[in-house]
Amino acid sequence: MVFKFIKAAYSDRDYLLSLRKLTMVEHLENAGLFLTDQQHVLRLNDQYDCSHLIVINEVPIGTLKYQTHAQHVEIMQLQIHPLHQNKGYGKAVIEQVITNAQSKPIKLTVLKNNPALGLYKRLGFTITGEDNYEYHMQTRAIRS
């Protein structure tokens, strides 16, 4: 399964904000974080130029916000629309990012109570640090 990562346009903002709320509010509130609509918008706007629609068969199924740095790739957000969850898409997206990273380590953060933590561990991510709400994780660099 190969996904297209299409750079998000300004016109995608409503979809991405709705997706953020659908996929994140439960996990944020379980962690004790109750964000206002304005705070969600601020998080959406943060490095918006790194936001991409995840598309399969010409249908957007979620978003991936990521940035490639000289020494690593940073995943800032991965959200799969609830209608497309539990189909292996999240795993496949991460595997595609790992392949595209060309042996660079991948770094991300995940809320401590988010079930995605188990997925990241199964895909080879290890916890490298933490704060009050999130684990900081990364893969090892793959030597060719």
Task: Read off the pLDDT of residues 14-64 as tens digits, 9 standing for 90 and up.
Answer: 999 999 999 999 999 999 999 999 999 999 999 999 999 999 999 999 999
Asked if residue 137 has pLDDT above 90, the reply is yes
- The pLDDT-based confidence of 142 (bands split at 50, 70, 90) is low
Residue 11 contacts by C-beta under 8 Å, 6 or more apart in sequence?
none
Q: How many residues does the chain have?
A: 144
Q: What residue spans of the chain are helical by DSSP H?
A: 13-30, 37-45, 89-100, 116-122
Q: What's the pLDDT at 140?
A: 79
Q: Average model confidence (pLDDT) for the chain?
A: 94
In the structure encoding, which two tokens stand for residue 13, read together? 């903002």
Considering the chain, what percentage of its residues have pLDDT values greater than 70?
A: 97
Residues 109-126: b if buried by 16+ CB within 10 A, e if exposed: bbbbebebbebbeebebe
Strand order in the sheet with 51-56: 4-7, 51-56, 59-68, 73-80, 106-111, 134-138, 126-130
**Domains of the chain, CATH where assigned:** 4-138 (3.40.630.30)
In the structure encoding, which two tokens stand for residue 4, read together? 């297209």
Asked if residue 144 has pLDDT above 60, the reply is no
DSSP string over 64-106: EEEEE-SS-EEEEEEEE-GGGTTSSHHHHHHHHHHHHTTT--E
